[in-house]
Structure 1
């Protein structure tokens, strides 16, 4: 029997107290299906989520499709789209974009199409549900597809980026990493980690063709990885992977451009680097979660593997730091709030586990420790 230290005891008590507080008012055992993209041949795994207790239970394979980096819902939540980082598809050296019908908690594949190049790591669908954009990290490219009744057309537009940043190890070439759409659905964005920029496009929901409308440039070597819009409709957060920082941006509705308002650093000054054996990618920023009311924002950092909680001004999006919380594993690839926002779920890629942390909805505080469950190479979490 292990004897708990005073610190471990206090952390356990704090976690239990927070869990009890945040689940107060829940009754029964509502079960919800959760799909998890997995970097394995099985592709998409299914879990049952019990919000009253914060438990995840494995429910088998959702879809056997190899090496899924990302999954997203159509706006009507009838279809799921997947970005697959395979080396070849249909005899061509590209990744795969796939679509599925969601029926009774199960997935039925509808279509599969070639991406623009290798390293397909992300996809996003516009607010009408008619345009899907993919990003290829390895090939430094992006592509768009028309969507009809959940089925993907062959790509209708693509661009291969050529600009690269000053870091010879990470920015030897362009690396498209993330696609997104503006709140009013007039603009599309592709984050290019290798080129230190966010490409800006106008697009047509009818044709799915993108047209260049400029770019936002980060600091040299920052490596902008993801882009998330605040609910206030005029603030966005660009996560800089290589700099472990976040650019707080003002979104300009007229032309879709961004103006940097602030940069928030996730690491303390002179923070020690982790052992490369434990974290080959080093200390790197990863992803962003924003509460529905816009009062709290969370950022994930890999290497030292933590979530950083911030209070946010709902009107301006300005950030005030709260605290860092360990993710319960190694390499938080993706994380998300459950629909009640009483729990934060984390996909720890390199330790092959999911972790669920109780969350106080009034204060935004996360429990110090979470409940964990095994999941091979989890990459993205999606609540059905």
Structure 2
């Protein structure tokens, strides 16, 4: 691995390197395959992960699908699903949902279906592996699909949202951004950044249909982007993109409702805005990672580009701030812990690199500096 910058990254040279790297061995017992969604025509990329050294090595193109914003596994990890933010698919003005069989660290496509509208940015599968939900940012819509042996049915159900928030630049319309399922698999959730709400549904694993069960409303102009459930089974964190804050929510198992307990701000008061040339989106919250034992939580901010580490109360989910760490690049679109939780990997979208930071599982602390490896427009990181 070597230190790289966006300025040094050349797409043609990178493509050649990725193709050559495809011949690298995946048989080494200490190696683990990592898939990375790329927001380019390249699609889904492969990397080999060395958990002892905390190093990534490019291993070629895993799947030739264009403009992949998000990838997720089926519960048994035999299938991978991708949300593709293409302008049209099958002659219709929508994004694409694609599914793949995972074979020996490689991907074999088995289906592709139209989403409900444009701007397909996220997908999530329920805990039984039977229902996939996709969120369309541009079209402000959500759609569901039945999954059978990894194959996606045509769209089963959809809804187009109409409520929008007070910010005329970012909330001129609804913007569905993220889908998730409750710990007991009885409820589905869709974060609507444009409408300042999280839509709540019941759903049928047999038919993949959804039914409205209420909504959580954030503060006006907050822009709820993502929702992650704490391992305690009663707490959820909603990342607000536009205010770079986190709503700490209590999850009600009886009816699926969400109640705000606290709001934690990632930026100090009157924080200066970055240069628009470097960060056109401004200072915005992005994603969330929670340690498996529930003792630590991490939140990403874009603009000044940092990860904010917190101690988390395992019983209540209450957050206590620790420290901020740079992301090793620009615009952390997604980040994740490796399976050992000794390393944090960051997908820096606008600097076209992946960054790796050492982590102490006992204290939750991240190293101040990490290693980087080139990766064109990384959007989502997934360990096999």
Residue 190 of structure 1 aligns with which residue?
190
Deviation by residue 1:173-231 (Cα, 9 ceiling, x = unmatched): 00000000000000000000000000000000000000000000000000000000000
- CA separation in 1, counterparts of 2:371 and 2:105? 23
Residue 301 of structure 1 aligns with which residue?
301
SS in structure 2 of the partner of residue 233 of structure 1: coil
Residue 134 of structure 1 aligns with which residue?
134
Residue 104 of structure 1 aligns with which residue?
104
- CA separation in 1, counterparts of 2:325 and 2:77? 31
Residue 8 of structure 2 aligns with which residue?
none
1:263 positional shift: 0.1
Residue 368 of structure 1 aligns with which residue?
368
Contact 1:54 1:356 in 2 (8 A): yes
Unaligned stretches of 5+ in structure 1? 1-27
| Residue 30, structure 1, aligned to residue 33, structure 2 | no
Residue 270 of structure 1 aligns with which residue?
270
SS in structure 2 of the partner of residue 350 of structure 1: helix
SS in structure 2 of the partner of residue 260 of structure 1: strand
- CA separation in 1, counterparts of 2:291 and 2:62? 27
Deviation by residue 1:213-269 (Cα, 9 ceiling, x = unmatched): 000000000000000000000000000000100000000011000110000000011
Residue 153 of structure 1 aligns with which residue?
153
Residue 76 of structure 1 aligns with which residue?
76
Deviation by residue 1:62-97 (Cα, 9 ceiling, x = unmatched): 000000000000000000000000000000000000
Residue 226 of structure 2 aligns with which residue?
226
Residue 179 of structure 2 aligns with which residue?
179
Residue 288 of structure 2 aligns with which residue?
288
Deviation by residue 1:101-158 (Cα, 9 ceiling, x = unmatched): 0000000000000000000000000000000000000000000000000000001000
1:42 positional shift: 1.1
- CA separation in 1, counterparts of 2:190 and 2:298? 21
SS in structure 2 of the partner of residue 143 of structure 1: strand
Residue 115 of structure 1 aligns with which residue?
115
Residue 314 of structure 2 aligns with which residue?
314
Deviation by residue 1:14-48 (Cα, 9 ceiling, x = unmatched): xxxxxxxxxxxxxx971000000000111100000
Contact 1:29 1:50 in 2 (8 A): no
Contact 1:164 1:194 in 2 (8 A): yes
Unaligned stretches of 5+ in structure 2? 1-27
- CA separation in 2, counterparts of 1:376 and 1:221? 32
Deviation by residue 1:332-356 (Cα, 9 ceiling, x = unmatched): 0000000000000000000000000
- CA separation in 2, counterparts of 1:333 and 1:30? 28
Deviation by residue 1:314-342 (Cα, 9 ceiling, x = unmatched): 01100000000000000000000000000
- CA separation in 2, counterparts of 1:55 and 1:181? 32
Deviation by residue 1:261-300 (Cα, 9 ceiling, x = unmatched): 0000000111110000000000000000000000000000
- CA separation in 2, counterparts of 1:129 and 1:29? 29
- CA separation in 1, counterparts of 2:212 and 2:360? 42
Residue 48 of structure 1 aligns with which residue?
48
How many residue pairs match? The answer is 357
Residue 95 of structure 2 aligns with which residue?
95
- CA separation in 2, counterparts of 1:144 and 1:174? 18
